[in-house]
């Protein structure tokens, strides 16, 4: 009999453990192929430890090919599924070439996406904590804040740089705030101009208490522990909006901060949303065997799926599998067994699993654990947390590296090397009324288009007695004059009301404007008309030749 092809989409906990079990249970009977956009599996529970430098970035991930030696692994982006033709379209390679893959059985394990769109400004200004890049970016960003805070002479700038906000106090939010605190605490002895009491950390939770999946007394213990480390725990309050300079809370408070980390907003995967499947709570509805109703030979598991734990489930989350690695792993095993049962005409088993408990690390060698009904806290819970995740981490090499890293990290100084990642060349930036966009003497950065709000440009040049004022509204732009003339900023731009700008970095904007003669001419005419005097076209290769003015230093 010809081998059946099982295609698994997604290489997280659900996809990897399903593929691993299929490889074992179906050897000789099925060909298993797994598609994932990265060539590695991310052990998400360890991401906060990457952010704090407790372990190296590469140690929270495992190469899929080493994890699944008898599975065909394909690094590609899933773009679409044709259920009628039983095909999946993926894009692969540097040029993103489309490839069509056939399947006999299809497993959907694409996880969820972060959706922050309900809070204005949040998706443009918050860092997230979902994959390896996020954890790496957070670490880089925090170290960058310490670097600048140590040398700035402007108290307001320093205060903003040393204020850190984590939104959401589920276990990923709690572990993230605790790990960032730990990184800063261990790094501060190397930043001689920052006093420990200048650092402010905030954990913001909309619910009445943190860690909603833990018993109330453990959540209380965790709150006390976090507060004792100087973390302000704000419960019963949400975030209304975010800008480049802070967050606006639902109780009217504003927190100035250069660092917002959002661990909220678990939304549906964009592809899952487009598939025309029956979704509930933004998850794919399945039956108890993890089959997707109405679609033959299609299965779903992990965070993307809503798997009932009982017959006739009600509108109660407890009636369904939870979105945790613990469940995804067990779902993977059961789903593989069910696929093999259908292929062999045997009876399938419904998915049933009861959580063994939860663990959350609180930093400073403390944790809370609710395991098999036993409630633990403090150092013993922390050792259990470490032991549990070490045993859970797939592959000996990964376990060994993480274990050694933990050991070294406990006796060595923290790694505060900042491997910088350039910010996106084009991005939205939100401003509150009174915020400064740029000031005279700053190095030119790029071009700004007003999406909404009003921004006032003031130029006062004592050398030339030049005085100029203009208010820019939606659809208007500023910042191009000095780009054309290759100078430092000469003007001050302030937000007259809350507003949103689209920013394009200097190099990209100049390239774009140079490539289109009509744009080049447009800016030449615009500058002549707006600022007077002859305009100047974007000279190819024009760069900033001027030396920056000395910034204030301590």
Ligand X SMILES: Cc1cc2nc3c(=O)[nH]c(=O)nc-3n(C[C@H](O)[C@H](O)[C@H](O)COP(=O)(O)OP(=O)(O)OC[C@H]3O[C@@H](n4cnc5c(N)ncnc54)[C@H](O)[C@@H]3O)c2cc1C
Residue ranges in contact with ligand X by CB under 6 A: 10-15, 35-38, 44-45, 47-48, 77-78, 109-111, 129-130, 171-172, 269, 271, 302-304, 323-326, 328
For the bound state, the minimum distance from the C-beta of residue 265 to ligand X, rounded and expressed in Å, comes to 11
If the CB atoms of residues 32 and 459 are measured against ligand X, the closer one turns out to be: 32
Contact 92/82 with Cβ under 8 angstroms? no
For the bound state, the minimum distance from the C-beta of residue 160 to ligand X, rounded and expressed in Å, comes to 25
Whole-angstrom distance, CA of residue 483 vs CA of residue 349: 66
For the bound state, the minimum distance from the C-beta of residue 266 to ligand X, rounded and expressed in Å, comes to 9
For the bound state, the minimum distance from the C-beta of residue 106 to ligand X, rounded and expressed in Å, comes to 13
If the CB atoms of residues 44 and 160 are measured against ligand X, the closer one turns out to be: 44
If the CB atoms of residues 89 and 537 are measured against ligand X, the closer one turns out to be: 89
If the CB atoms of residues 38 and 514 are measured against ligand X, the closer one turns out to be: 38
Angle at 21 between CA 305 and CA 351, to 5 degrees: 40
For the bound state, the minimum distance from the C-beta of residue 143 to ligand X, rounded and expressed in Å, comes to 19
For the bound state, the minimum distance from the C-beta of residue 453 to ligand X, rounded and expressed in Å, comes to 33
For ligand X, which residue has the nearest CB? 12
Q: Which tokens is 291 given?
A: 């089959």
If the CB atoms of residues 45 and 308 are measured against ligand X, the closer one turns out to be: 45
If the CB atoms of residues 72 and 148 are measured against ligand X, the closer one turns out to be: 72
Tell whether the torsion through CA atoms of 183, 201, 134 and 15 is positive or negative.
positive
Spell out the residues 6+ positions from residue 515 whose beta carbon is closer than 8 angstroms to its own. none
For the bound state, the minimum distance from the C-beta of residue 250 to ligand X, rounded and expressed in Å, comes to 24
If the CB atoms of residues 110 and 484 are measured against ligand X, the closer one turns out to be: 110
For the bound state, the minimum distance from the C-beta of residue 232 to ligand X, rounded and expressed in Å, comes to 21
- Where would I find the beta strands (DSSP E) of 69-142? 72-75, 77-82, 87-92, 97-102, 105-108, 113-114, 126-128
Q: Which tokens is 32 given?
A: 């298993």
DSSP string for residues in 178-219: HHHHHHHHHHGGG-TT--GGG-EEEEEESSSSS-TTS-HHHH
If the CB atoms of residues 10 and 491 are measured against ligand X, the closer one turns out to be: 10
Comparing C-alpha atoms, which of 171, 168, 230, 167 is closest to residue 200? 230
One-letter-per-residue 3-state SS of 42-83: ECHHHHHHHHCCCCCHHHHEEEHHHHCCCCEEEECEEEEEEC
Helix H or strand E segment including 529: helix 517-531
Spell out the residues 6+ positions from residue 244 whose beta carbon is closer than 8 angstroms to its own. 125, 258, 429, 430, 431, 435
If the CB atoms of residues 263 and 490 are measured against ligand X, the closer one turns out to be: 263
The residue whose two tokens read 């704090």 is 52
Distances (CA, A) of 214 to 93, 173, 204, 278, 444: 44, 14, 17, 31, 50
Whole-angstrom distance, CA of residue 9 vs CA of residue 80: 11
For the bound state, the minimum distance from the C-beta of residue 417 to ligand X, rounded and expressed in Å, comes to 23
């Amino acid at each position: 009999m010809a081998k059946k092809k099982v295609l698994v989409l997604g290489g997280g906990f659900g996809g990897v453990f399903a593929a691993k079990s299929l490889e074992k249970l179906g050897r000789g009977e099925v060909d298993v192929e797994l598609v994932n956009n990265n060539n590695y599996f991310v052990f998400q529970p360890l991401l906060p430890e990457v952010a704090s430098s407790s372990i190296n970035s590469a140690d929270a991930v495992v190469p899929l090919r080493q994890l699944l030696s008898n599975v065909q692994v394909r690094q590609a982006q899933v773009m679409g599924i044709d259920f009628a033709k039983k095909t999946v379209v993926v894009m692969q390679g540097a040029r993103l070439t489309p490839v069509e893959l056939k399947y006999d059985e299809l497993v959907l394990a694409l996880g969820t996406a972060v959706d922050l769109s309900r809070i204005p400004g949040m998706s443009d200004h918050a860092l997230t904590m979902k994959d390896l890049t996020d954890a790496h970016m957070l670490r880089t960003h925090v170290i960058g804040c310490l670097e600048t805070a140590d040398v700035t002479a402007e108290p307001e700038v320093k205060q903003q740089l040393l204020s850190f906000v984590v939104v959401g106090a589920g276990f990923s939010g709690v572990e993230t705030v605790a790990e960032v605190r730990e990184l800063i605490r261990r790094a501060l002895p190397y930043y001689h101009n920052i006093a420990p009491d200048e650092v402010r950390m905030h954990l913001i939770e909309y619910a009445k208490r943190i860690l909603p999946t833990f018993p109330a007394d453990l959540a209380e213990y965790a709150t006390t522990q976090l507060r004792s480390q100087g973390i302000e725990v704000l419960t019963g309050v949400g975030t209304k909006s975010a800008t480049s300079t802070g967050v606006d809370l639902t109780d009217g408070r504003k927190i100035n901060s250069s660092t917002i980390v959002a661990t909220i907003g678990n939304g549906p995967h964009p592809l899952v949303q487009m598939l025309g499947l029956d979704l509930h709570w933004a998850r794919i509805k399945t039956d108890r065997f993890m089959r997707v109703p109405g679609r033959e030979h299609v299965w779903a598991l992990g965070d993307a799926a809503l798997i009932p734990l009982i017959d006739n489930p009600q509108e109660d989350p407890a009636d369904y599998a939870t979105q945790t690695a613990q469940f995804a792993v067990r779902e993977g095993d059961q789903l593989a067994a069910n696929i093999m049962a259908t292929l062999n005409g045997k009876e399938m088993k419904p998915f049933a699993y009861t959580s063994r408990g939860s663990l959350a690390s609180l930093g400073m060698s403390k944790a809370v654990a609710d395991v098999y009904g036993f409630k633990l806290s403090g150092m013993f819970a922390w050792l259990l947390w470490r032991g549990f995740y070490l045993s859970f981490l797939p592959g000996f090499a990964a376990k060994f590296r993480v274990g050694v890293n933990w050991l070294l990290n406990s006796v060595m100084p923290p790694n505060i090397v900042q491997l910088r990642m350039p910010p996106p060349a084009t991005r939205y930036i939100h401003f509150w009324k009174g915020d400064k966009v740029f000031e005279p003497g700053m190095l030119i950065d790029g071009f700004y288009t007003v999406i909404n709000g009003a921004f006032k440009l003031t130029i006062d040049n004592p050398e030339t007695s030049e005085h100029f004022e203009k208010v820019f509204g939606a659809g208007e732009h500023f910042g191009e004059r000095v780009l054309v003339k290759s100078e430092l900023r000469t003007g001050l731009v302030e937000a007259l009301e809350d507003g949103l700008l689209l920013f394009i970095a200097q190099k990209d904007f100049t390239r774009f404007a140079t490539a289109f003669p009509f744009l080049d001419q447009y800016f030449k005419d615009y500058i002549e008309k707006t600022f007077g005097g002859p305009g100047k076209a974007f000279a190819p290769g024009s760069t900033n030749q001027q030396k920056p003015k000395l910034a204030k230093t301590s």
